[in-house]
Structure 1
Amino acid sequence: MRTPLRSRRTALTGATALLLTLAVGPAAVADTHQAQRQGGSLVLIGGGLKENNTQVYGEIIERAGGARARIGVITASSVPAAQDPYADDPDRCSNSECNGAYYSDLFKRHGAADAQWIPVDLDHIANADSAAVVRQVNSMSGFFFGGGDQSRYLTTLLNGAAHTDSKVLAAIRAKLAKGAVVAGSSAGAQIAAGADMVTGGESYEGLRDGSSPGYFEDATRLGYEPDGGFGFLRSGLIDTHTGAYGREGRAMRLAADTGHDRVYALEENTALVVEQPGGPRERLRILGPRGVAVLDLRRARTTTTPPPRKVTGSGASGPGWSLSGVRYSYLTDGDQYDPRHWRALPAPGKRPLALRSATPVPANNDVFHSVASPVGVPYSFLTTARALAATRAQHQAEATTYEDGPRFTVTFRKAPGFTAWGTDGATPQTLTGLEIGITGR
């Protein structure tokens, strides 16, 4: 069971830190910082982490020991150098080694004492059980998993289909339990998930066809890994790049198909900070310029209707899948979330909005930002939700998918308890308790 308490950290005094540094070195000092936190933490970013995001990089570094932080960078989700035609060109390369060097340099530029690439990738799978690499991991006070394809993390660190910890992953897991911070962006955040980790897919095709276990060459097909990722965060499914790629639809379909009642949907360049993941005091906080949606499916219901009669030239085909009763909260910088009590806690300084606008919600015929639409608008799902939150003229609004075979209609409704929060009295930043339904026809 989880409680809404939040762990507190106490900084070492300068004299104590100096004595510890002289006696046992910077890595041990960082470990002492971790032990004082009574458990580790996660910093999960929805992808697109910008170089100048001092807020998120600073959070990771501070949790790893501040000026004494030593960050281990894992980029095994990238292609290895052997598969990169530009591996020898530092300006064009995009492989695990050069990406590891990129992030290591960034962490040092943001103030870490040291940052090192952990040399595990598809070219160096044996290193995942190397005693020397385990010693390197044990000298670190924090870890960062880069983006790419999360299936490569399964291959390199979870022994593939065996789904058992390599020695390197076991060492990272032990460091997390003792207080280390584990961060990740995009695939590096996805891999923190437990059972039924998403592996790919688009919202429209996912709603139309449902989800299937596995990885698929068809990037639109909604797939998942039943055994999950590393299992660092189990209180909800994880999805990333949510706003940029309109992934709310696929997130809801996957959760409904696999029996999960909560999803954390992370936007780009923004972090979900998790204190004591998996413990009785797990607590979440949002950090960054965008937001994280929490989808609550405890009262959700699904139905499937027979396919409509085919009308020549209509394009309509397939059964209509529908979902009702999903609660949607959108949380922004400084907001907290208590997973045990399913409660969003807006940041200090945000207050409920007094709705004065009578502007109707604009029409939206591309709610999930379809890749098929030549004029698709990113963030359109959130745009509709916020437009409804801002007006007193409507209690309900609808938006549709660009595709029509079948077309899905998303209904947004101000359910009892719905509240919009903001800092200026007029602009909805945080939304709590909006109800979502999806109907396929």
Structure 2
Amino acid sequence: MRVPSVPVPVPVPVPVAARRTALACALAVSLLSVSPSALADAPTARTAAGSLVLIGGALEEDNARVYGEIIKRAGGRDARIGVITAASVPESQDPHADDPERCSNSACNGAYYADVFERHGAADAQWIPLDLDHVANADSDAVVAQVESMTGFFFGGGDQYRYVTTLLRGDAHRDSKVLAAIRAKLARGAVVAGSSAGAQIASGPDMVSGGESYDALRDGSAPGYFDDPTRLGYLPEGGFGFLGSGLIDTHTGAYGREGRALRLAADTGHDRVYALEENTALVVDRPGSDREHLGVLGPNGVAVLDPRDARAHDSADGWSLRRARYSYLTDGDRYDARSWTPRVHPSKQPLSPVGTTPVPVNSDVFHSAANPDGTPYAFRSTARALASTRAQNSATATTYESGPRFAVTFTKGRGFAAFTGDGADVRTLLSLRVDIAPR
């Protein structure tokens, strides 16, 4: 989640073609098999023993299942959670710092999360005193000792570039002592969790730094961090590199970020995006290892965007993308990253559509901020409506903005399947084709 921030330096661009070649070698695998060495050189390989719990933002304080999962993985009743909120503004930049009812800075946000974790059963939860006012603490031996006493970590939301500034030494992009200690704890079996920017910072190369879907489709992406929140930017060196098997995006359905995620993947040569939705976690066991498995926990879902077979094209009319795939996994579903295999929870049943109602018209597929009547999760809604009807094999939705207006076409085809949890409503979707083109 982007919040107002102080000016920060823009990273130096690196050739996209070189990254694309390297990433293609590291990440391209077939649908049913994978080269044994495909992920061997991924920066997350050393984190194989631990786990990640990555939430797409807006984590509600009564979400006992997600908080409970983090606590369980941190030792249950003995869990000691280190809370890092360096993505928030520091106290010096918060005009309401002295008002406990209105404050929104790193210290008061850290206290909030520490309290929530203890109310959910953690033995102890402590704010790790890191933010833009305390950058030096990232190399403090005392703070490292505090980190060493923890069994799990939670990174709060805000602006992920502040994590780069505080824990990765900014442009140097090297681990501070505190980050090195957290990385070592993860490798030894600790859990690292995060919400919104705290999930985004787990990314490897080409971490998204901002942008809106329509502007991304129209203008493309560029390396850097931009004051214009609509401009699609990314950091070539990435975040902490805890999860390397795909790009990460957050607040996906609520903010309509499917378009920007697909554009960034196409521009940077990535073959997969984990598009996380709000108040819902992507749980990753043994990240970076040849046994990396992922699961979904929560009321919404995680979209796996797959552009392996997609082809992007620029023309005078605008940018287009053909043959991307969209899978939408929900509570209890699992995913094998190496084999690209989703495993639908056995409680869900294949959906046999019986309805003949046409898919409703959707003229704001990416929930534009410019549309006062826009609806969150519009992309997902059209996909599910198509899965629910036997009257159509494809449906087209459009962007709210024009100049050009983009059309998104969803198509049932080879490999497509839908699943329900109650026999009627669509929950999980597998391998729905997505094409994007100017109209």
TM-score (normalizing by structure 2): 0.89
Counterpart for residue 405 of structure 1? 403
Task: Classify the secondary structure of the residue corresponding to 1:416.
Answer: coil
Instruction: Write the deviation string for residues 52-100 of structure 1: whole angstroms up to 9, x where unpaired.
Output: 0000000000000000000000000001001111111111111000100
Does residue 44 of structure 1 match 2:54? yes
Does residue 53 of structure 1 match 2:63? yes
Superposition pairs for residues 202-351 of structure 1, below 5 Å?
202-306=212-316, 319-351=317-349
Instruction: Write the deviation string for residues 275-331 of structure 1: whole angstroms up to 9, x where unpaired.
Output: 00001100000000000000011101011121xxxxxxxxxxxx4100011110000
Task: Classify the secondary structure of the residue corresponding to 2:61.
Answer: coil
Superposition pairs for residues 406-425 of structure 1, below 5 Å?
406-425=404-423
**CA–CA distance in structure 1, aligned partners of residues 130 and 195 of structure 2:** 17
Does residue 136 of structure 1 match 2:134? no
Task: Classify the secondary structure of the residue corresponding to 1:265.
Answer: strand
**Cα drift, residue 205 of structure 1:** 0.3
**CA–CA distance in structure 1, aligned partners of residues 60 and 281 of structure 2:** 12
2:260 alignment partner AA: R
1:257 alignment partner AA: D
Counterpart for residue 158 of structure 1? 168
Aligned counterpart in structure 2 of residue 69 of structure 1, from 65, 79, 102: 79
**Cα drift, residue 38 of structure 1:** 7.5
Moved more, 419-428 or 234-243: 419-428
Counterpart for residue 28 of structure 1? none
Moved over 3 A (4+): 1-4
Task: Classify the secondary structure of the residue corresponding to 2:273.
Answer: strand
**CA–CA distance in structure 1, aligned partners of residues 422 and 392 of structure 2:** 21
**CA–CA distance in structure 1, aligned partners of residues 438 and 269 of structure 2:** 20
2:422 alignment partner AA: D
**CA–CA distance in structure 1, aligned partners of residues 370 and 138 of structure 2:** 40
**CA–CA distance in structure 1, aligned partners of residues 360 and 211 of structure 2:** 28
Query: What's the RMSD between the two structures over aligned residues?
Result: 1.4
**Contact kept in structure 1, 2:209 and 2:224, CA below 8 Å:** yes
Moved more, 141-150 or 365-374: 365-374
Task: Classify the secondary structure of the residue corresponding to 2:372.
Answer: coil
Task: Classify the secondary structure of the residue corresponding to 2:296.
Answer: strand
Counterpart for residue 168 of structure 1? 178
**Contact kept in structure 1, 2:217 and 2:260, CA below 8 Å:** yes
Counterpart for residue 39 of structure 2? none
Counterpart for residue 18 of structure 1? none
**Cα drift, residue 417 of structure 1:** 1.6
Task: Classify the secondary structure of the residue corresponding to 1:415.
Answer: coil
Aligned counterpart in structure 2 of residue 201 of structure 1, from 200, 203, 211: 211
Does residue 117 of structure 1 match 2:115? no
Aligned counterpart in structure 1 of residue 390 of structure 2, from 392, 409, 414: 392
**Cα drift, residue 375 of structure 1:** 1.1
**CA–CA distance in structure 2, aligned partners of residues 79 and 155 of structure 1:** 12
**CA–CA distance in structure 1, aligned partners of residues 421 and 112 of structure 2:** 37
Structure 2: give runs of 5+ residues left out of the alignment.
1-25, 34-46
Q: Which has the larger radius of gyration?
A: 1
- More relative contact order in 1 or in 2 (CA 8 Å, sep 6+)? 2
Counterpart for residue 16 of structure 2? none
TM-score (normalizing by structure 1): 0.89
1:282 alignment partner AA: E
Does residue 363 of structure 1 match 2:373? no
**CA–CA distance in structure 1, aligned partners of residues 232 and 205 of structure 2:** 15
**Cα drift, residue 126 of structure 1:** 0.6
Does residue 98 of structure 1 match 2:98? no
Does residue 107 of structure 1 match 2:153? no
Instruction: Write the deviation string for residues 317-360 of structure 1: whole angstroms up to 9, x where unpaired.
Output: xx410001111000000000111111111112101111111111
**Percent identity, aligned pairs only?**
71
